Chain A
Amino acid sequence: MTVVSIVDYGVGNLRSVINALEHIGAQAELVSDPVALRKSGKLLLPGVGSYRIAMEQFQASGLADTLMERVTQDQIPMLGICVGMQLMTEHGTEDGGAPGLGLVPGVIDKFDADTMKAKGLKVPHVGFNTVRPKSGSLLFKDLGDGIDVYFTHSFRLASTGDDHVGALCNYGVDFVAAVEHEHVVATQFHPEKSQANGLAILRNFMDNF
């Protein structure tokens, strides 16, 4: 297994994701400067909290441009988790809004309050829910067609390019639970908090990308 570099731009707790990667036998390292990022062979982009604030922090860290270069030119595999996935899209409307990295088509917007209320569903969407991977997915390889994983979020990617969908989830409406396009993958849910299912997904990222 190769080393996975966790892009550390100063947001949130990275302990859980490091623990999970080490548990499956992967070697995880934190990378917080562009020079180190140039040596990485595989990236994991975490993120929590507000899209705009996370994006500002990511830009300020000086890591965003290098990450884009490594992923688009060098084609190294990357996995975004939660707000890390959200930052990979074109735009996020949260908290005044901010442009994203544009690696994934689509916009991050809040679950529609009226629709959810009419269906008696609460926002944020918190807990284990079932995702439906696309056929032939490498991220969900050998995991079947309905996998339960842990979500905690209020904003979501409503839709993306057909060739970018990795998995869908239904919470009142369908939304994109995972992105999978060539070497670019991402999950709105938290694999590091999703018991054996999440560990298997992380293992697939390490083995198949």
Chain B
Amino acid sequence: MSKGWLGIIVVGLGIAVIVALFSPWASSHPDGLEKVAEDKEFIGEAEDAPYEIIPDYTFPGVENEKVATILSGLVGIVIVAALGFGFAFLMKATRRRNGGSHNPGAG
């Protein structure tokens, strides 16, 4: 992977982390579907999740609510980024193994 790509990854993930740092100050108003569900009185139909890992974007066991929210955002960023990069890597690897690359410069 060329140097340019490393820059994109670092800057892109950096922006995502900065956005996550703002998450504790996100609007606390009910949003689209929730507002409609309240107004039209079907909010009560919602069922609780069968298990909880990081519910409400609040990292469990962290006293400070803002820190807990930011921490949950960072955890999420790491997981989804790993899935995205992992998938792309896997696709590249299988393509190379199958010899089906139309991108001779790959790698």
A and B are partners in one complex rather than unrelated chains = no
Residues of A at under 8 Å CB distance from B? Answer: none
